Amino acid sequence: MARVCQITGKKPQVGHKVSHANNKTKRRFYPNLQKKRFFVPEEDKWITLKVSTKAIKTINKHGITAVLKEARANGNLVL
């Protein structure tokens, strides 16, 4: 599975690694993804999502049901 957040859609970004001598080489910046289980009371089941830490904070703030509904509307959720 790709390194993509299932809620926010965050993907790796491309940039430069810069040495002390200011040499620049390509590198990738990966999102901070965690595999986390959430309980969805409406469906009465547990789901496992690969989410970024920012998405975990959003779920804690707004609730899993609202976040899942918005992610499905945006087309980010792959379940």
DSSP state of 21: T
- Whether residue 25 lies inside any domain: the answer is yes
Q: Is residue 43 part of a domain?
A: yes
Question: Among all chains, which residue has been given the structure tokens 């993907």?
Answer: 11
Q: What are phi and psi of 35, to 5 degrees?
A: -90, 120
Does the residue 1 lie in any domain? no
Task: Give this prediction's pTM.
Answer: 0.84
| Residue among 13, 79, 14 nearest 50 (CA) | 79
By C-alpha distance, which of 25, 27, 68 is closest to 45? 68
HSE-up of residue 32 (Cα within 13 Å, Cβ side): 5
The domain in which residue 22 lies consists of 13-74
| Residue 24's CATH number | 2.30.170.40
Per-residue pLDDT of the chain (79 residues; tens, 9 = 90+): 589 999 999 999 999 999 999 999 999 999 999 999 999 999 999 999 999 999 999 999 999 999 999 998 988 876 6
